[in-house]
Structure 1
Amino acid sequence: MTDIAGLLRRLEKGGIPMTASIREAMLNVEIEDFTDYETEPFYVDRPVPFMETDAGAVKTISAPHMVATLLHHMELNSGDDVVIVGAKGGYIAALIATIVGEHGFVRVLDPSQDAVLHVRQRLTHWPTVEVRELESVDVAPVAFPGDLHRVLVTGQINSLPHWISDRVIEGGFILAPLGPKSSQQLMKMELQDGELMPTDLGPVAFGPVDVRRGEPGPMSADELADMIELTIQTCEDLGLIEDDERHAMQDLVVNLRNLPDDLPPPGEGMIPMEEHPMIQLMWEAAPSFFRLWPMLQTMLHPNLAQPGAEDWDDENESDDGEFKP
């Protein structure tokens, strides 16, 4: 078996929180039990796929540093009841079931029938894990327990469904990557005195919980507007955008969001490409849009950190051995 212990040491050295219970679970639950794909990337701190749809959407198990980070922020204890929205191949469910023990319980919910079948097959011998198919992330499952203590959403959603936020008990919390598909913020929301109190844990990039939303296809007007807004914010943070460029791009965002909701994406709906309203708006904003195109490309293809990669130590240690995150 590939060196999981070495990976965990690199993660800890890279600043990833690693409690004894998380370390023990990751040492004992083997990633190979949850995917038939090659697992070598996992041991250099990369995600690994566990299924692919006929339409080309890929569902992955998160990179080890993100798995450990999610487990850390879940604050798990023996006997906890945990709800996981998003299958992640069953790997995270197995880790959590290991941590909460025989007196805890884990419920996995996913809107993909294929993902549910995959996880059920992989967790056949885990008596404290239940796997159910969701009609939709936004629709409450039938005959589901009323009170929620710990909820982990393992994929991108735009906002929390009411059936989750309304059921969290006092002192319970939800951990979820909230935002558009282009980027999200990892949010931890704890119910205190009857109010969900949010804590922003930083930017993340998760695929959608619903695998159908991850299938390749043309970008909608709202998705393009989200991407342009993110580009504006990033360029502002880096001091790379002029006022006239910002105003022009903000106008473009407004115009994109004002397009009809039922407008088909470019290349669909029998609208000639050059006549499509999205294309026309983009060409009108070309003087500001194209100068920042390299930044937009960076948003589309981020270079994610891998603190568990085998070369991380060499790249982040000075001559005196001091680690630099």
Structure 2
Amino acid sequence: MTRTADLLRRLSKEGIDVPKHIKKAMLKVDLEDFTDYDASPFYADRPVPYIESNSGNIKTISAPHMIISLLHHMELNNDQEVIVIGCKGGYLAALIATIVGEKGRVNVLDPSSEVVDYTKERLSHWPTVEIRKIEDLSVAPVAFPGEFNRVIMTGQIDVIPKWVKSRISDGGFIIAPLGDIDSQKLMKIEYQDQYELETDLGNVCFGPIDVDSQIDQHLHPKELADLIELSIETCEELEIIDFDEMQSLQDLVAKLNNLPDDTPPIGEGGIPVSQHPMVKLLWHYSPSFLRLWPIIQVMLHPMIANFEYNIMDGHDEDQDIDW
């Protein structure tokens, strides 16, 4: 049994509906053709990174259960043309292209030159997929005419761009994670007889489509220490933290406060993310607070929003820790 087949079997046992056409596409398209990172997190139903930009931001391919949900709600059929805004490394586009078939078409738009170049290389042998860079999400791309029947936006966005909404055909729809950087709702917006029909598909937390245009939200060590202290207080109020966990987090706070004042934020200073002292500290102390990680992750979201994956998934457990 392949790793993908085993993953889909486990997801089905956990109650996630995997329609036959999506299962067939996921078995046919190899995730590892779209990332050079360790793919193990993906097979554990977590996002996996595919590129670290020159500015230090990490872009990810979404977790399998989310990909299945997106594809299911897209209601894809043979011969359709689909607009994908946000490359996701090309993996989602490849799945869509497989589902819509040889007479279908997938147009992928992204504002990042690095991401577009990466995705073009990964999809160079997919004749029904076209990838192009757009200057800005709010501006319609040049020489891109026609109405849209299916549009999916693969990252956080505050509002649907006007040029996208104005070109949805009757009976067509958009799926997008709408909201601020900290939380969004996955919305399905259908257009029928000039009416917008909104369906709330649930709360989600995606990184932004255009990561590099965001205001810098990386934290300095003392800012991170303050947030972790706030996390400790929150966990204490909820009575969900034991003494050892609290002691470990307090030790982490002390270590962060002792880092040099000129320590650059994560993603800056020419330091690889995996080698940054703040990330290494989090990794070192992670075994003692894994149970509390979902709450801590929410508290730290301004720092990790651009990752869209648990920072602890990106490290070698045997890696030496120096500080």
* Corresponding residue of 1:299: 298
Distance 2:80 2:174 in 1: 14
SS at match of 1:159: coil
* Corresponding residue of 2:119: 119
* Corresponding residue of 2:38: 38
Retained in 2: the 8 A contact 1:207–1:214? no
Shift of 1:145: 2.4
* Corresponding residue of 2:203: 203
User: One-letter code of the match for 1:299?
Assistant: V
Distance 1:191 1:48 in 2: 33
* Corresponding residue of 1:99: 99
* Corresponding residue of 1:132: 132
Distance 1:298 1:63 in 2: 16
Shift of 1:215: 7.7
Change (3 A) 1:65 1:295: closer
What is the correspondence of 1:72-91 to structure 2 with a 5 Å cutoff? 72-91=72-91
* Corresponding residue of 1:190: 190
* Corresponding residue of 2:29: 29
User: What stretches of structure 1 of length at least 5 have no aligned partner?
Assistant: 220-234, 241-266, 268-293, 307-325
Distance 1:80 1:300 in 2: 41
User: One-letter code of the match for 2:77?
Assistant: N
Shift of 1:182: 0.4
Retained in 1: the 8 A contact 2:188–2:200? yes
Change (3 A) 1:214 1:15: farther
Distance 2:214 2:60 in 1: 11
What is the correspondence of 1:152-191 to structure 2 with a 5 Å cutoff? 152-191=152-191
SS at match of 2:196: strand
Partner deviation per Cα, 1:80-127 (whole Å, 9 max, x = no partner): 100000000000000000000011000000000000001100111111
Higher relative contact order (CA 8 A, sep 6+): 1
User: One-letter code of the match for 2:15?
Assistant: G
Retained in 1: the 8 A contact 2:60–2:309? no
Partner deviation per Cα, 1:51-89 (whole Å, 9 max, x = no partner): 111222100000101011100000000011000000000
Partner deviation per Cα, 1:156-184 (whole Å, 9 max, x = no partner): 00000001111100110000000001010
Change (3 A) 1:38 1:147: same
Change (3 A) 1:207 1:214: farther
User: One-letter code of the match for 1:165?
Assistant: K
Partner deviation per Cα, 1:197-245 (whole Å, 9 max, x = no partner): 11000100100000214685358xxxxxxxxxxxxxxx9xxxx9xxxxx
Distance 1:6 1:301 in 2: 32
User: What stretches of structure 2 of length at least 5 have no aligned partner?
Assistant: 220-233, 239-264, 266-292, 302-307, 311-323
Distance 2:24 2:15 in 1: 18
Change (3 A) 1:30 1:215: farther
Q: How many residues align?
A: 237
Shift of 1:301: 4.4
Distance 1:41 1:65 in 2: 12
Partner deviation per Cα, 1:268-311 (whole Å, 9 max, x = no partner): xxxxxxxxxxxxxxxxxxxxxxxxxx998553347x999xxxxx
Distance 2:142 2:93 in 1: 21
Partner deviation per Cα, 1:5-41 (whole Å, 9 max, x = no partner): 1100111222323111100000010011001111111
* Corresponding residue of 1:318: none
SS at match of 1:11: helix
Distance 1:213 1:203 in 2: 24
Change (3 A) 1:128 1:298: closer
* Corresponding residue of 2:6: 6
SS at match of 1:119: helix
Distance 2:114 2:50 in 1: 11
Tell me the TM-score normalized by structure 1: 0.68
Retained in 1: the 8 A contact 2:47–2:309? no
Q: 145-154 or 13-22: which moved more?
A: 13-22
